[in-house]
Amino acid sequence: MYRARWSEQVHQEWMAAAAKKRGIEPEKLQTLRQLMDRAVPDALVSGYEQLEEGIKLPDPKDRHVIAAATLTRADVIVTFNLKDFPLESLKSLRLEARHPDEFLQDLFGISHDLFVEAVKKDYEHYIQPKLSFVDYVEGFRNAGVPKSADLLEKLRVVITAEEAA
């Protein structure tokens, strides 16, 4: 349904934020980063730096995101930080910024079946220790995507069909 893309700079930003806000040890974050790169082998973007100079944003430190998105011909930037990616800055590049909650809702709208299949696969991979569906949904709420958490609750019967059987 989509191709995830990120850069080394994006990795550094989310890792610094997670270490600061959540007190997560850098070694654990490095392991998670490696798992992300391994799970999506072609996601790491490089070679976009020369494009940054011509990009105008409220915060120049965010230009790398637009440059990487432009290089990969992305359509959407998924971010909680919508204010730093205004429509007028993105429109000419045929880009839009979407909040993660809205992005997930969009994916469900594109294909209910593919969305359910992906969520089911994600939920079922939590086996050591087994994650309850309630805790799984709460993780979405805690991550800042409450509408998606509500949607998952409504879809519980199709996501956890094997558990009920």
H helices of the chain, in order, are 8-22, 26-39, 63-71, 87-90, 100-110, 112-124, 133-142, 146-154, 156-159, 161-164
CA–CA gap between residue 34 and residue 38 (Å, rounded): 6
pLDDT at 130: 87
Nearest Cα to Cα of residue 48 among 20, 70, 19, 24: 70
CA–CA gap between residue 65 and residue 5 (Å, rounded): 10
pLDDT at 165: 42
pLDDT at 127: 84
pLDDT at 162: 56
How is the chain split into domains, by residue range?
6-98, 102-164
| Global model pTM greater than 0.85 | yes
Per-residue pLDDT of the chain (165 residues; tens, 9 = 90+): 889 999 999 999 999 998 998 888 888 899 999 999 999 999 999 999 999 998 999 999 999 999 999 999 999 999 999 999 999 999 999 999 999 999 999 999 999 999 999 999 999 988 888 899 999 999 999 999 999 999 999 999 999 875 544
- Cβ(61)–Cβ(16) below 8 Å: no
Give every CB contact of residue 140 below 8 A, 6+ residues apart in sequence. Answer: 146, 148, 149, 152
